[in-house]
């Protein structure tokens, strides 16, 4: 295997770093291992080396950075919030044939409203929380709201990975309209404007106008393409289809920036927004029988006049782990909201790096400290939710619009009059807490691992899209696999049949080998994976997806190795033996 040349004393590498510092300023080019580690290490998975981490502060700076990197022949990894779960925005080890430059884009957080806010143009560092806050005063919402698996997720991350999220009607993050840099098969960097906004032909002039939001009405083509997957609401209703509703290998949702997985240098995306729901109603459902929940899902999707807003599943074990190991996350969000969380977690990461350098503090000291402090917080979950935890193994949170509440209410009363289980209609506060608790479950496995390093090896996290007609949706593992797992966390977007499955693995067992033993069982069930976190370096992409990546990036200079493809220049096959 080839090893990337990472020697900072090399003339070419030093020259490139000097040029990058000239473009963005010394403070925004990081080269020391300690400083670059948060950008070289994934949220849950992945770590590798990099020549530099560069943080452009404008679109023109990002363009010039890409020009310099392409000219120098280095690999570029485009990175936004780095909240992905499969290592797709970080290097993967040191088996590259070129130096790597990570272009971290979170300084460019601008969002422009167009058409009175019915669409937005987002720049590389814009976050979902930021977009949600900008749209709320005008009664609009973005494609996705608070993430199901991470905090501070970026808009670009969602689009680049076709992330799905919890909102049933809107489908995976998608757009036909983007502004991006692409390297041709001749090695030439080109700026492609498919925003549907006339901006001229000079790259730096285009980027300057986009940065400023200089979009005269006459320049905007309102028929340029789709700003979301407008067919999904019909697609997800087909409960008899033998295929999943959404998954990352679905070629219908791969188009330029949408699903590009970092194989392009994105500068801007244009997306639809949606009218905000007023006074939604949340129903909390519990049962001990999986077929009861499946009957609920099938009836809702096939018969309800109006699709619900969201339908989130939580298993009792995930409920319990989240109650204990997600408590501080829950309480902090209730206290300060989500907007300040990325800064808070940045401070936490900085403290952890300092603690690692000091040496005498235990690993993950901040997690251990926060877990200790959470014991002093008061009970945070409503009594009715805790009662359902004691009574029922399977939990479903169903959020519907005010206009659809009566239909849902009547169905649930009728259904649970003759089926095992029960439901209650949440107060607004209970509904908010129920969905926040479901969100906290996504990070609970990480906290559990970090607190119990003496007994845990790591986490295997699977992101699974089940067939729309799969009635036996709950996983039953073979005993030999069960024996290697301490705890399983099952949660997901139930109406879309997308499940997140986190397994905390016992100390001493090989997590990768365990995952590979699990995947044939999913294949046998007709499931597809990953469902919405993309392939990263964890999953092997199918041939048709790899062909799509080759078409986007013929030189294999943007994010090589994604989908376990070759990391070598021009997609040259790696030698065997």
- Is residue 82 part of an annotated ligand binding site? yes
Beta strand extents in 494-562 (DSSP E only): 498-506
- Is residue 181 part of an annotated ligand binding site? no
- Is residue 11 part of an annotated ligand binding site? no
Cα–Cα distance for residue pair 70/65, rounded to 1 Å: 9
User: Of 413, 470, 522, whose CA–CA distance to 294 is shortest?
Assistant: 470
- Is residue 84 part of an annotated ligand binding site? yes
Q: Which residues contact 79 (CB under 8 A, 6 or more apart)?
A: 39, 89, 90, 102, 103, 104, 105
Contact assessment for residue 313 and residue 490, using Cβ atoms and an 8 Å cutoff: yes
**How many residues comprise the chain?**
577
- Is residue 154 part of an annotated ligand binding site? yes
User: Of 356, 370, 536, 537, whose CA–CA distance to 446 is shortest?
Assistant: 370
Cα–Cα distance for residue pair 435/443, rounded to 1 Å: 14
Cα–Cα distance for residue pair 78/91, rounded to 1 Å: 11
- Is residue 261 part of an annotated ligand binding site? yes
- Is residue 266 part of an annotated ligand binding site? yes
Q: What are residue 310's DSSP bridge partners?
A: 167, 399
- Is residue 80 part of an annotated ligand binding site? yes
Q: Which residues contact 217 (CB under 8 A, 6 or more apart)?
A: none
Contact assessment for residue 270 and residue 194, using Cβ atoms and an 8 Å cutoff: no
- Is residue 89 part of an annotated ligand binding site? yes
Q: Which residues contact 154 (CB under 8 A, 6 or more apart)?
A: 80, 81, 83, 106, 124, 125, 126, 127, 128
- Is residue 126 part of an annotated ligand binding site? no
Query: Annotated binding site: which residue ranges?
Result: 80-84, 88-89, 147, 154, 164, 261, 266
Query: Annotated binding site for FAD: which residue ranges?
Result: 80-84, 88-89, 147, 154, 164, 261, 266
């Amino acid at each position: 295997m080839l090893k990337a040349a990472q020697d900072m004393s090399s003339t070419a590498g030093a020259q490139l770093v000097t040029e990058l510092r000239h473009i963005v300023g010394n403070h925004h080019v990081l080269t020391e291992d300690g400083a670059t580690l948060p950008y070289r290490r994934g949220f849950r998975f992945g770590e590798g080396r990099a020549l530099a981490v560069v943080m452009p502060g404008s679109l023109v700076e990002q363009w010039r950075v890409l020009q310099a990197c392409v000219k120098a022949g280095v690999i570029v990894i485009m990175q936004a919030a780095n909240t992905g779960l499969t290592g797709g925005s970080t290097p993967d080890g040191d088996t590259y044939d070129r130096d790597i430059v990570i272009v971290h884009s979170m300084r460019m957080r601008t969002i422009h409203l167009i058409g009175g806010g019915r669409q937005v143009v987002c720049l590389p560092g814009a976050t979902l929380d930021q977009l949600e806050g900008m749209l709320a005063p005008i009664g609009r919402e973005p494609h996705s709201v608070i993430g199901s698996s991470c905090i501070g997720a970026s808009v670009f991350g969602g689009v680049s990975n076709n992330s799905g999220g919890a909102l049933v009607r809107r489908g995976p993050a998608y757009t036909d309209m983007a502004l991006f840099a692409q390297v041709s098969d001749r090695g030439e960097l080109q700026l492609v404007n498919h925003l549907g906004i006339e901006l001229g032909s000079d790259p730096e002039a285009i980027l300057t106008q986009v940065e400023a939001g200089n979009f005269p009405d006459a320049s905007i083509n309102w028929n340029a393409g789709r700003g979301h997957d407008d067919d999904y609401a019909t697609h997800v209703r087909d409960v008899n289809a033998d295929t999943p509703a959404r998954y990352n290998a679905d070629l219908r949702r791969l188009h330029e920036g949408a699903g590009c997985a970092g194989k392009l240098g994105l500068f801007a995306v244009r997306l639809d927004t949606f009218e905000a729901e007023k006074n939604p109603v949340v129903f909390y459902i519990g049962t001990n029988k999986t077929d009861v929940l499946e009957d609920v899902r099938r009836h809702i999707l096939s018969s309800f006049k109006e699709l619900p807003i969201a339908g989130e599943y939580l298993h009792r074990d995930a409920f319990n782990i989240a109650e204990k190991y997600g408590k501080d996350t829950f309480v902090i969000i209730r206290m300060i909201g989500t907007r300040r969380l990325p800064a808070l977690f940045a401070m936490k990461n900085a403290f952890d790096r300092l603690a690692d350098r000091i040496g005498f503090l235990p690993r993950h000291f901040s997690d251990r400290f926060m877990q200790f402090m959470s014991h002093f917080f008061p009970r945070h979950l409503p009594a009715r939710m805790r009662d359902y935890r004691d009574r029922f193994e399977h939990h479903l949170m169903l959020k519907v619009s005010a206009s659809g509440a009566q239909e849902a209410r009547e169905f649930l009363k009728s259904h649970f009059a003759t089926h095992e289980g029960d439901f209650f209609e949440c107060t607004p506060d209970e509904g908010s807490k129920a969905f926040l608790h479901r969100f906290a479950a996504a990070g609970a496995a990480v906290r559990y691992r970090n607190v119990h390093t003496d007994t845990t090896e790591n986490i295997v996290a699977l992101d699974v899209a089940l067939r729309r007609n799969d009635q036996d949706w709950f996983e039953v593992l073979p005993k030999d696999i069960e024996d290697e797992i301490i705890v399983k966390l099952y949660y997901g977007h139930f109406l879309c049949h997308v499940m997140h499955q986190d397994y905390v693995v016992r100390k001493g067992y090989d997590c990768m080998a365990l995952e590979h033993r699990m995947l044939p069982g999913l294949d046998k069930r007709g499931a597809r994976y990953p469902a919405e976190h993309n392939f990263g370096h964890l999953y092997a992409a199918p041939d048709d997806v790899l062909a799509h990546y080759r078409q986007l990036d013929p030189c294999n200079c943007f994010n090589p190795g994604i989908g376990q493809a070759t990391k070598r220049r021009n997609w040259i096959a790696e030698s065997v033996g």
